[in-house]
């Protein structure tokens, strides 16, 4: 048992370092066929601050000519009037993105299923490459999942919050490290019978 606990502690430390390295990775300057905006929490029909910054980064990529289309992801919580992706599309439309340049899926409940559903949309669109949009700390795990799905993807982090307390940053860092470690374990085992994360990890 002590050896097992020591091994788990080493793996968790490695996951912590991996998340930090991923957060410091430079944003891709490449163009792509689509930008995939990963879902996050909404409050009614309003995106959370985290989600709004992701949407704004996707809109920036579109208006800068880096991508011709945006894919918004995220399903609806029980009793919610709209799916996360629908809230995102409405927000992006108000920022000037035309409806024909946007796609959304409304079934996903996690980062993994965000990417699975987005990949299905890419197949229909015959899109080959993607920029994955999320906050920097989350992108290490998202990119690991994209690689597991054989996606041709590059990261595009949203801008960090200007006034985030250090305690919030540390909590998100440790949570992302735990989630990344869980995904590594899930992927190394029989993943068909497991889920990489749950909706409780949404922000």
Domain boundaries, the chain: 23-159
**Residue 23, pLDDT score:** 72
**Residue 4, pLDDT score:** 67
pLDDT tier at 191, thresholds 50, 70, 90:
low
pLDDT tens per residue, range 141-173: 999 999 999 999 999 999 887 777 777 878 888
Reported pTM? 0.85
In the chain, alpha helices (H): 2-24, 49-63, 84-94, 111-125, 136-148, 166-188
CATH superfamily of 23-159: HUPs (3.40.50.620)
Residues 45 and 83: their CA atoms lie apart, in Å, by: 9
Which whole number is the average pLDDT over 116-135?
97
């Amino acid at each position: 048992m002590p050896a097992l606990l020591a091994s788990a502690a080493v793996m968790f430390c490695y996951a912590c370092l991996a998340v930090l390295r991923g957060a410091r990775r430079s944003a891709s300057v490449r163009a792509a066929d689509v930008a995939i905006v990963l879902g996050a929490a909404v409050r009614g029909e309003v995106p959370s601050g985290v989600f709004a910054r992701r949407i704004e980064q996707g809109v920036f990529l579109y208006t800068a000519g880096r991508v011709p289309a945006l894919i918004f992801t995220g399903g609806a919580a029980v009793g919610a009037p709209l799916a996360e992706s629908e809230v995102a599309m409405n927000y992006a439309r108000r920022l000037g993105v035309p409806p024909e340049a946007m796609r959304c899926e409304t079934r996903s409940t996690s980062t993994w299923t965000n990417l699975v559903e987005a990949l299905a949309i890419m197949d229909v669109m015959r899109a080959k490459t993607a920029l994955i949009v999320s906050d920097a700390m989350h992108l290490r795990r998202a990119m690991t999942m994209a690689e597991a799905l054989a996606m041709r993807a590059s990261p595009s982090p949203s801008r960090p919050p200007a006034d985030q307390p250090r305690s919030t940053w540390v909590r998100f860092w440790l949570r992302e490290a735990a989630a990344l470690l869980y995904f590594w374990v899930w992927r190394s085992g029989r993943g068909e019978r497991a889920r990489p994360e749950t909706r409780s990890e949404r922000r």
